[in-house]
Amino acid sequence: MTQIFSLAGKVALVTGAGQGAGAGIAALFARQGAAIIVNDVVGERAEAQAQAIRDAGGKAVAQAFDVTDLEAVRRGIAAGESALGGPVDILVNNAGNGGAEGPLRMLPFADLPPEAWQATLAVNIYGAMNCLHVVLKPMVTRGWGRIITIASTAGTQGINGGMAHYGAGKGGSIALTRHIALENARFGITANSVALGLIRQDDSELFNKLARSLPVGRRGTPEDVAALCLYIASEEAGWFTGQTVELNGGAFTT
């Protein structure tokens, strides 16, 4: 009996996979048979996750590069493909950057310094574009590909709380993905976005309170994200493209 949602024989690149949702996606894809290029801007994180996949019996190689650097993206993907013996079939654009940290976090846009929004736009939009630019033409040539953009509800909903720059970055990545979907649908390539709600991060009382207020009563986990992404990446999802799926524990419905 054929395994449903098998990724056997596929090579997947997951950016920002050294931790969080990216690590969960990489681990599940590997269990379903994919060979994984584990990317992270921090080499130690990438290698740790790749080793964890190998320890579990999967196939993975770590490639540390900054997705905002097109030449570094080209080199990293080429090295990963060479190590795994095949081209990227599945791209998960998961790398992200909230842009503002520490005392700048959650400030109204009028109070943000330009470097805060420049950083988040660079990763969320240009980072996704760079990876797409490298893998798309080979996918077209082979007649098969899966592109998944990990976005945020901040990119689909207005939020009163200092997230305008982050929402712009994630909203831009969603729009990019929709256009890529339509341009490449006839080549057997799908492209979809997953807009994440409150995913497990820290254990602050604010986040815990927000989680308890959700209809499901808890925050999402990397495994929740990975399960949805597995379907989107599968052969079975070939008619599913150009969509943005809200994964938010029932915070709102569409």
Model confidence at 117, pLDDT cuts 50, 70, 90, reads confident
Instruction: Establish whether 126 is a catalytic residue.
Output: no
Superfamily (CATH H level) for 11-247: NAD(P)-binding Rossmann-like Domain (3.40.50.720)
Report the alpha-carbon distance of residue 246 to residue 182 in Å, rounded. Answer: 20
Res 99: pLDDT: 57
Average per-residue pLDDT in the chain?
A: 92
Q: Give the domain ranges of the chain.
A: 11-247
pLDDT digits (tens, 9 = 90+) for 27-58: 999 999 999 999 999 999 999 999 999 999 99
Sequence-distant (6+) residues with CB within 8 A of 34 are 7, 8, 10, 11, 12, 59, 89, 90, 233
pLDDT digits (tens, 9 = 90+) for 203-240: 677 777 888 888 988 889 999 999 999 999 999 999 99
Q: Give the pTM.
A: 0.95
Report the alpha-carbon distance of residue 96 to residue 119 in Å, rounded. Answer: 10
DSSP-based three-state secondary structure for 91: strand
Cβ pair 99, 165 in contact under 8 A: yes
DSSP-based three-state secondary structure for 1: coil
* Predicted confidence (pLDDT) at residue 174 exceeds the cutoff of 70: yes
Q: Which of 32, 166, 176, 178 is catalytic?
A: 166
Model confidence at 134, pLDDT cuts 50, 70, 90, reads very high
Report the alpha-carbon distance of residue 206 to residue 189 in Å, rounded. Answer: 40
Res 1: pLDDT: 56
When comparing pLDDT for 147 and 198, which is higher? Answer: 147
Res 253: pLDDT: 86
* Predicted confidence (pLDDT) at residue 104 exceeds the cutoff of 80: no
* 59-73, 84-98, 112-126, 207-221, range with the lowest pLDDT: 207-221
Name the amino acid, one letter, at 114.
P
Report the alpha-carbon distance of residue 214 to residue 234 in Å, rounded. Answer: 29
* 1-5, 92-96, 128-132, 246-250, range with the lowest pLDDT: 1-5
* Predicted confidence (pLDDT) at residue 100 exceeds the cutoff of 80: no
